[in-house]
Structure 1
Amino acid sequence: MRCVREIALRPGVNVVWAREPEGDSGSGLASAGHGVGKTSFCLLLRYVLGDDASAISALRVKAAANFPKGGVAAQVHIEGVSWLVFRPFGASSPSWAKVGNQLDELLAEPRTTAFQDYLEALQSTFIGRLPTQTLPGTNQPLEWRHLLAWCIREQRTRFDGFFHWREGDGLGFRRSRVDPPLFVSAVLGILNVEVVRLLQEAEQLDEELSKVKSQIPILEKVSAMELTRLEQRIRTKVGARKELPIFESIVEDSLASQVTEFLHRAELMEREVEAKALAAEQAMEPDVALLNELRSTHAQGVLEAQLSKALYEQRAKDVERLKGEIDALIRLKGHCAHGRVDFDICSYVLDRRSTVSMAGRMDAKDALASLPVRLAAFNQATEEEKAAKARLDAQVARVKELRAGVARLRMRVATSQIGRDALAADWREFQAQYKLREEGKGSEELTSARTQESRFTEQMNGKRAALAARRLQTSERVEQIKSITSVVAAALLGEEGYGRFVHDSDLRPFEFAVEGEAYHVLEVLLGDLSCLLDATTSVESHHPGFLVHDCPREADMSALLYRNFLSTAYEADWQLSSSVGVPFQYIVTTTSPPPPELSKAPFLVLELQPGRDDALLFKRKLGVSSLGLAVSDGGKAV
């Protein structure tokens, strides 16, 4: 595999300069210092460090069109371990990684596939040592990509805010304003574990408090609506007009008095109707007794008809059996429960005993001897059974009607009792709720919600006080960052007292006491450079000591401030260098000429220039043709 371009990055300051042509020798893009590969270089740095954002994917498509089997390779040092990494341009090819010192080892066969181990090394080394592995409030896991976004800012953000690291792709934080400051505090070592715990508890309490607060207006409305519904229902039941006052008045009637009167009238009516039902039951007793007598008459008639038929058909055994059943019916002894008299004085039984049917007068021998007599007996028994059935049906209908009348009376009483009980219950509930409203309380649910609100509010105030106390205790760690920020700010502006670190700000944690768009951009650079240099001297910092800026001058910064910034980075490189090297790595791309000391080796690691293919990052233009137009860009390839 042929190497198109090799770039040796060093510890300390590294400058990638897109030199603009001198004088008027160029025109168009060739004179602007753009399209040579500065941003592509930064995207490829992100790519080898595990980023797969959409901007990187777009660059890979263009690079793969020119280098189908190409990719970018890098040697990445993680906590003293040298990792060799290769990431392809093509979408279908795998990424490779292994521990080693020579890139040739990575490209040799057999190729390793331990890229996931490399990503896990980045995660465990730079995220695993943070004081918290999740964000307070959401418990969202922290990831290496969050830290990488800060270390390599996207040029499209134009350095417009310290916590604005990506444009378009986003950072993956659930709370775009709250989470980045918390994350930076964790990386800088100023996110106290106790503060994290208090924040998590405060977040939970705030969520519960918000939920209860949102319920109270609803419960208040429901309570008022329920009281109104109860009043309307009671007025409808008792027939009270709408303007009638609720409680008793000296000069006029009231809803309360009408409810009392309605309940009293209903109770009186129930007593009257119950008395009518009892009287109707007593008056019905003779008809019930007659009904039972008629049932016995019909039963005997059925037996006598069956006896006549047995005689007519000459079934001697059935004749004897049926005559025995009839005799048993006639000779009943004891008390008749239906007629409430003894059988010896029951008019029906006495009548039956004195009336002997034709079939009963015939013995079996006579019946067998005379066919006409048997036929006559059968016909007589059949007619008598029919007559008994007709009398029985008529009495059944009469008793049924009488019982239905009693049932209607009972139903009227029961219905009245249900309505009276419901009205009494509604009135009691209405009085209770009305009293609570007058006392400024409410339903049980509303009272419970207000109690919870008071309890949560008290607890929340306690958490806020504890957090305030913690934040007022300015730690030695915060003072360290304030001190180094002051030094860097003085170097940038040439005067002391203008720059400061505001550790609890979620917008401008690093700021100057002067206004202007250029100073807002410089505040971002101040913060990045201060955190980078702090990482070299503080054991509490978890910053990786690695920082990339892509053309910060293009974000509305004056040439003087820009030169001061680069000179400050150079000065830090010089002062912190030792026999083992510089303890940080800062990479910056620029179209503006860097200060003289940075415009040469070893600080100038790559010089690009428009108008010449060999001075482009890929040593050729990368283009995707569309409608006859060619869009080109630079990049880095192996």
Structure 2
Amino acid sequence: MTKRRMQQLDLFGGFEPPAPPPPSAPIKTGRSEPLVWVAEVWLLREYDASEASILRHITLRKGLNVLWAPPTPEDVENRLGDGQITGHTAGKTTFCRMLRYLLGEQRFGTARGQDKIREALPEGWVVATIVVGDERWIVGRPFGLGLHPFAARGLSFAEALAERGRGGYQDFLADIRRVVMEPVPVKELPHQREPIAWEHVLPWLTRDQESRFAGLVEWRDPSSESESPRLVLDDRHVVLRALCALMSDEESEAQRRYEDLALEKQGLEERAPRLADRAAEDRRRLARLLGVEDDTNDAGPLFAARFRETVTRRKASLAAAEEALAAQALEVEQAEDAARQAAEACGARVEALREAEARREEAKRPSEKKREAEEGAPAPLPMRAGLCSVPLDVAMAKGCPLAASHPAAAPMTREGKKALAEAVMEAKRTLAEARAAQKEAAAEHTRRRSALSAEEKRIARERAAIEEVERLYDYMTAAEREADANTERLAVVTDEVKASSERQAALRREQEEAEARISERFRDVVRALLGDHVEARVEVKGRRLELRVEDRGERDGAAMQTIKLLAFDLAAMKLSMDGHGQLPGLLVHDGPREADMDGRIYERLFLYARHLEESANGSLAFQYVVTTTAPPPKEMQKEPYLLFPLLDASKPEGRLLKMDL
């Protein structure tokens, strides 16, 4: 690094930070080993343990592991159009993707990257020795499609490949879950409603280089096409807090309870106006049917009392009308009988008139009838004396000697004729009276029958109206009950939401000690990178973590964001070394120098990792893998910190896979 480079001002206006400070407190008794770490990686042309098949064999260790692809030396003259790509595209990110692939991620590159590797190495494999707890696994995954991964416990690289066995990979992942995930005090993500899994933790431990180290929980960028599980923001913060012992299952359960209550409260609040409107509309319709004024101030018990009073009155009126209907029906029957009797009387009067007129006509023509009878009379029949079976009027017309002696055969006198005429007149008069009586009786019957029918229809309408009113009242009261129940439940849920929020706050207060631990370690890392005068802390705001760095006010900006999240990752790793939380002790940072970070601050990242090694007294409970193009400190550009070989993109054999893709 040139003198000018060394004198470059850092983010704090020329402040020359001191060397990394010693730990702020004695190292607590913690782990002696990482829960998960990678010991060796082999990149194979094909599934074979021979030297001819091995493209790369990279040995890693516990502690700091730097995969370096050096840039063009700075003392080389820089000219336009003259240069070589050396540090970039050498395979650093591919190496990190291979580690992620071995540890359970679905892909080992972007779709295009995978296709190019498969085209160049259709039979290729990546194999590694991975230590989980106290078990050593040989784990292999193929580049090609249609092949299955394998994992073998307790075998060497050559032995595992010599067996040519398959399977066991899911057992390997299950062992990671057992060692890393089972002790996690939070078992379920509150939003996703699924268990916290290794697949949710791995993205944090192996951040995407594509995500640019720009956000605390921005672990995977869509452009990396990793197919890692996508968690909502709050659940990603839960993963951080759970592995750093910043929350427990009780808080997680309280958070789930809070979310359930908040969701129910939202639904109740949305339903409340709809239920109130429905009840009000039913009340307005009911008021119109009852013919009363709809007064919102008169709702509730007063309206119910008015309803019962009105309906009771109408029902009583209906019952009285139904009772009167029976009497009215009887009157119709009587009118019908009277009309029938009048019709019969009229018929009798017609018949009497006909008979009277017939007698009068007979009295006018007795001699004519007699002559006609004589001319056409047949010979007399023998008969008994004094007897004749022929009707008297016929016998008289025929000149029967017996009829001649009958009193009725005597000639009609003037008085007789007058009496017959009077009888006809009387018959006509009584007939006219009978016809008038019949007409009046029929009209009365029709009137009464129409009135009865109209009353029956009115009663039916009133009965239907009362039934409709009662039905609508039932609807209204049901709507009011539902609205009241909704309001009551809303009040209860509102109180429960408040209580749940307060309980969460109480649980978070119980986590203050845990927050103090992570804040202390975060402050140590930040001060190691930026200087002893800088204040730093981790805050839990609501359900999320926030990182604060202050020096004459809060410091922010793209480079500072990267520094803060790198410091947090290292603080979380240090926390796990001290025996707190469940971070497995494995951390991979792929090209963490972002946002024009000052070179000297970047160098201190390596110095701090070395400081962790030196303060561990031989018990290295972490593995920190860093890929970089920018150089680490000169005194660390050697074993054991550097991984070999160094990568160089200027020639095919210098790249990770020893070829151009």
After TM superposition, the score normalised by the length of structure 2 is 0.66
Q: Aligned residue for 2:71?
A: 20
The 10-residue stretch of structure 1 (179-188 or 507-516) with the greater mean CA deviation from structure 2: 507-516
SS in 1 for 2:61: coil
Q: Aligned residue for 2:532?
A: 495
Change (3 A) 1:424 1:92: closer
Tell me if 1:100 matches 2:188. no
Partner of residue 519 from structure 1, selected from 549, 560, 565:
560
* One-letter amino acid of the counterpart of residue 516, structure 1: G
How many aligned positions are there?
A: 490
Identity of aligned residues (%): 26
The 10-residue stretch of structure 1 (81-90 or 93-102) with the greater mean CA deviation from structure 2: 93-102
Q: Distance in 2 between matches of 1:577 and 1:62?
A: 45
Shift of the alpha carbon at 1:268? 7.6
Shift of the alpha carbon at 1:410? 7.1
Change (3 A) 1:29 1:130: farther
Shift of the alpha carbon at 1:269? 6.5
Change (3 A) 1:147 1:544: same
Q: Aligned residue for 1:573?
A: 613
Q: Distance in 1 between matches of 2:177 and 2:238?
A: 18
Q: Aligned residue for 1:46?
A: 100
Cα deviation 1:230-253 (Å, max 9, x = unaligned): 344455xx9x9x99x999xxxxxx
Contact 2:318-2:459 within 8 A present in 1 as well: no
Q: Distance in 1 between matches of 2:245 and 2:308?
A: 71
Tell me if 1:587 matches 2:632. no
Q: Distance in 2 between matches of 1:288 and 1:59?
A: 110
Partner of residue 611 from structure 1, selected from 628, 646, 650:
650
Q: Distance in 2 between matches of 1:258 and 1:132?
A: 63
Tell me if 1:544 matches 2:596. no
* One-letter amino acid of the counterpart of residue 64, structure 2: V
Q: Aligned residue for 1:531?
A: 572
Change (3 A) 1:120 1:429: closer
1:590-601 alignment, distance < 5 Å: 590-601=628-639
Q: Aligned residue for 1:469?
A: 506
1:363-382 alignment, distance < 5 Å: none
Tell me if 1:91 matches 2:131. no
SS in 2 for 1:93: coil
Q: Aligned residue for 1:128?
A: 182
Q: Distance in 1 between matches of 2:197 and 2:473?
A: 61
Q: Distance in 1 between matches of 2:467 and 2:492?
A: 37
Q: Distance in 2 between matches of 1:536 and 1:515?
A: 29
1:76-475 alignment, distance < 5 Å: 76-136=130-190, 138-168=192-222, 176-234=232-290, 274-284=326-336, 408=453, 411-422=456-467, 425=470, 443-475=480-512
Q: Distance in 1 between matches of 2:310 and 2:164?
A: 99
Change (3 A) 1:474 1:84: closer
Q: Distance in 1 between matches of 2:154 and 2:570?
A: 31
SS in 2 for 1:157: coil
SS in 1 for 2:643: strand
Contact 1:485-1:526 within 8 A present in 2 as well: yes
Change (3 A) 1:508 1:258: closer
Cα deviation 1:271-297 (Å, max 9, x = unaligned): 6655432222344569999xxxxxxxx
Cα deviation 1:167-220 (Å, max 9, x = unaligned): 125886675121111121111122133323322332222222222222111112
Q: Aligned residue for 1:369?
A: none
Q: Distance in 2 between matches of 1:172 and 1:404?
A: 87
Contact 1:21-1:609 within 8 A present in 2 as well: no
Shift of the alpha carbon at 1:536? 0.8
Contact 1:76-1:82 within 8 A present in 2 as well: yes
* One-letter amino acid of the counterpart of residue 236, structure 2: P
Q: Distance in 2 between matches of 1:428 and 1:63?
A: 76
Change (3 A) 1:590 1:64: same
Q: Aligned residue for 1:356?
A: none
SS in 1 for 2:570: helix
Contact 2:573-2:585 within 8 A present in 1 as well: yes
* One-letter amino acid of the counterpart of residue 328, structure 2: K
SS in 1 for 2:494: helix
SS in 1 for 2:593: helix
Contact 1:234-1:423 within 8 A present in 2 as well: no
Contact 1:152-1:549 within 8 A present in 2 as well: yes
Q: Which has the larger radius of gyration?
A: 2
Q: Distance in 2 between matches of 1:171 and 1:127?
A: 21
Contact 1:123-1:144 within 8 A present in 2 as well: yes
After TM superposition, the score normalised by the length of structure 1 is 0.69
Change (3 A) 1:50 1:423: closer
Q: Distance in 2 between matches of 1:257 and 1:414?
A: 19
Q: Aligned residue for 2:124?
A: 70
Change (3 A) 1:103 1:227: same
* One-letter amino acid of the counterpart of residue 21, structure 1: T
SS in 1 for 2:220: coil
Partner of residue 593 from structure 2, selected from 550, 553, 559:
553
Contact 1:137-1:204 within 8 A present in 2 as well: no
Shift of the alpha carbon at 1:267? 7.5
Cα deviation 1:461-513 (Å, max 9, x = unaligned): 22222222232235433322222222111101122442112144655533312
SS in 1 for 2:217: coil
| Structure 2 unmatched ranges of 5 or more | 1-47, 300-306, 342-441
Change (3 A) 1:548 1:404: farther
Contact 2:149-2:166 within 8 A present in 1 as well: no
Q: Distance in 1 between matches of 2:71 and 2:340?
A: 123
The 10-residue stretch of structure 1 (492-501 or 163-172) with the greater mean CA deviation from structure 2: 163-172
